[in-house]
Structure 1
Amino acid sequence: MLIQNNLNMDQPKCAFCSGGLVSDIEKNESFCSNCGIVARQNYDTADHQILALSGSDSDLESQAPTSIMMYDISLSTFIDKKNVDASGKQIRGYAEMEKLRKLNKFTISNDSKTRNLSKAMKEIRKMTEILGLSMLIAERASYIYRKALGKGLIKGRSIAGIAAATIYVACKDMGVMFPIDKIEEYIENLNKKNVVYYYKFLLRQMKMSTALQQPSQLVSRIAERARLGGKTQRKALEILNKIEGNPIISGKKPVSLAAGALYLAALNTGEHTTQLRIAVAAELTTITIRKRYLEIAEIIEKSDSANSSEDDELPCSPIACMAKTSNRSPDNLV
């Protein structure tokens, strides 16, 4: 078994205990030397070079599939020390072969673009592992980073910041709900302001567009933080479905609409909650929650009056809902 110890500073560490990674190249996996957890299932080009120089009889192509996560997509050329040609014949001229090896190694490591990609791919892999994102997100982020590097957008800017921004863009493209605050919380030496700046910079320079978040996609996360039940969540989704496309809510933040719908749904279902609790869960202010839920209630009241023959029970007005939950008359609440 061929094992490589990844304890240098350039190699990523375990996302759980920060221990050093040990690569088992023959089994194509890396595991933590401290806790033993398998960190990743692929290895980079440096591992390929070690395997080639070790004289292993296994086929490199069968063990090293190409991947955009590798800085050279696993297509680099290495000259081993066997000094034999393709037909197996011995190559004469040991000194000339040594010169070729040194020249090949120099051309690979001396290219600034290659060094940049190598560091960026390690950063993207490390961040996605720490944040618990899938390999598809990492590959999409790597693709975006390569395009940005090809257009000369990385020069003079933070590699880690651009890598974090590409991960956020990849999450947006693939419809993964990922709050940008997590990057600042779990990744060192990065803050939300820089990541947002690089995110907008990439969208502007590369002429990219990401899909807008829908309020219905945020209901579950806010309800979980506010500890609201499934009945309230379903009612909030019904409310959002009824007000979809209304011009009154045009241009409003999706998270504020989701929070307002949740508060109105909680009033309608009788589940006890407060505007402050939902505001904290949605990272908004109570004033925003109050404005949004009043606007949503107004839209539903107009829809209720226009469709009075509809059999489904529609959410009540804010005053009526508060009266219903507190067993008081609406006149006493005004």
Structure 2
Amino acid sequence: MATSDIYATTFDEDVQQEVTTNQCSECGGRVTTNARETVCENCGLVIDEQQIDRGPEWRSFEQEERERTGAPLTVARHDRGLSTKIGRGTDANGNVLSGRKRQQLDRLRREQTRGKWQSKADRNLSHGLGEVRRITSALGLSETIRDQACALFRSAQSSDLLLGRSIEGMAAASVHGACRCNGRTRTIDDVTEVAQVRESRVTNCYKTINAELGLPAKPMTPSMFVPRLASELDIPDSVRRRAERLAETAEDEAITTGVSPSGFAGACIYKAACECDQELTQAQVVDAAGVSPVTLRTHRDTLVKES
């Protein structure tokens, strides 16, 4: 028997016959874990299923012939990344295709495009997930936020929340919901700037998602906006730390309830800059915070009064 066959057989036996020391919660029998599920040998109770296979992802166990099987599954695609793409111009070895072969591939590509979606729901899902990827890329969000937003859009479609609503609006609302659940300082205004839909529709879609799916959205506080505004205004770290202390003190005294967190954070930065003799105009803070000068001065006066 070859070395590769011995290794493969040993790996299969280890995966299939891995036994845990846990006992069954129902009958106290021995629990066995294989590559798919954890079951009790006595009563047959399925304790866990759909486990992650942590074995090698190679198609061959020969050291010199190892090749990866492809990209991992992703929720950012309607088919989870399992689709096949037909290339153009050359074959797998880089050879130029003949005219007859190109015509054949064109026909195959056309038939593949026609059978890409099994239903109108799959087509809507593909369009919505593409919009989610575009918005998260434009906002510079991480892949984790992107995947959570795509999963949220899937849940909204499964709950029939897309009926009578814009796909673009629901995609933007999913991105905003993922940001809120992770405590990211991305307001609806920020999402709407890069979305292809009006702010009112994004707001209505987000309210629907939040109410129907019960999102664990975190409240947005002024202290969360201070680092972002400080980075945009390029102020020293001493001013930023002072602004964060002002915002945290105001939150502890409950004077930030019902106010714009971005505007109040801008007021904290402006007051901290004045205390540290840093040149910073109200116009600069207003442009970064996205509020009016009257709002900025009102929040600044509140800070001065409470200090």
TM interval, shorter chain, is 0.5 to 0.7
Q: What amino acid is aligned across from residue 160 of structure 2 in structure 1? A: G
Aligned residue among 268, 274, 280 for 1:267: 274
Give secondary structure in 1 for the equivalent of 2:162.
Answer: coil
Q: Distance in 2 between matches of 1:153 and 1:70?
A: 19
1:231–1:155: structure 2 CA closer, same or farther, 3 Å change rule?
A: same
1:112–1:235: structure 2 CA closer, same or farther, 3 Å change rule?
A: same
Partner of 1:156: 164
How much does 1:170 deviate? 1.1
Q: What amino acid is aligned across from residue 218 of structure 1 in structure 2? A: F
CA deviations on 1:96-140 (whole Å, 9 max, x unpaired) are xxxxxxxxx999734232222222222222332333322212211
Aligned residue among 202, 216, 240 for 1:195: 202
> Does residue 125 of structure 2 align to residue 112 of structure 1?
no
Taking the TM superposition and a 5 Å limit, the aligned residue runs for 1:104-183 are 109-183=117-191
Q: Distance in 2 between matches of 1:230 and 1:269?
A: 11
How much does 1:215 deviate? 1.3
> Does residue 248 of structure 2 align to residue 241 of structure 1?
yes
Aligned residues: 216
How much does 1:291 deviate? 2.1
Partner of 1:5: none
Partner of 2:300: 293
Identity, % of aligned positions: 28
How much does 1:221 deviate? 2.6
- The answer to whether the 8 Å contact 2:176/2:191 transfers is no
> Does residue 260 of structure 2 align to residue 253 of structure 1?
yes
CA deviations on 1:2-56 (whole Å, 9 max, x unpaired) are xxxxxxxxxxxxxxxxxxxxxxxxxxxxxxxxxxxxxxxxxxxxxxxxxxxxxxx
Give secondary structure in 2 for the equivalent of 1:178.
Answer: coil
Aligned residue among 66, 69, 72 for 1:62: 69
Q: Distance in 2 between matches of 1:293 and 1:275?
A: 11
- The normalised TM-score by structure 1 is 0.56
**Which runs of 5 or more structure 2 residues have no equivalent in the other structure?**
1-64, 85-112
Q: Which moved more, 1:242-251 or 1:196-205?
A: 242-251
How much does 1:211 deviate? 0.6
Partner of 1:212: 219
Partner of 1:306: none
Q: What amino acid is aligned across from residue 205 of structure 1 in structure 2? A: E
Q: Which moved more, 1:198-207 or 1:106-115?
A: 106-115
- The answer to whether the 8 Å contact 2:266/2:296 transfers is yes
1:251–1:166: structure 2 CA closer, same or farther, 3 Å change rule?
A: same
Q: Distance in 2 between matches of 1:180 and 1:141?
A: 14
Q: What amino acid is aligned across from residue 275 of structure 1 in structure 2? A: Q
Partner of 2:79: 72
**Which runs of 5 or more structure 1 residues have no equivalent in the other structure?**
1-57, 78-104, 301-334
Partner of 2:239: 232
Q: Distance in 1 between matches of 2:147 and 2:303?
A: 40
How much does 1:74 deviate? 5.1
Give secondary structure in 1 for the equivalent of 2:69.
Answer: helix
Q: Distance in 2 between matches of 1:160 and 1:211?
A: 24
How much does 1:66 deviate? 2.3
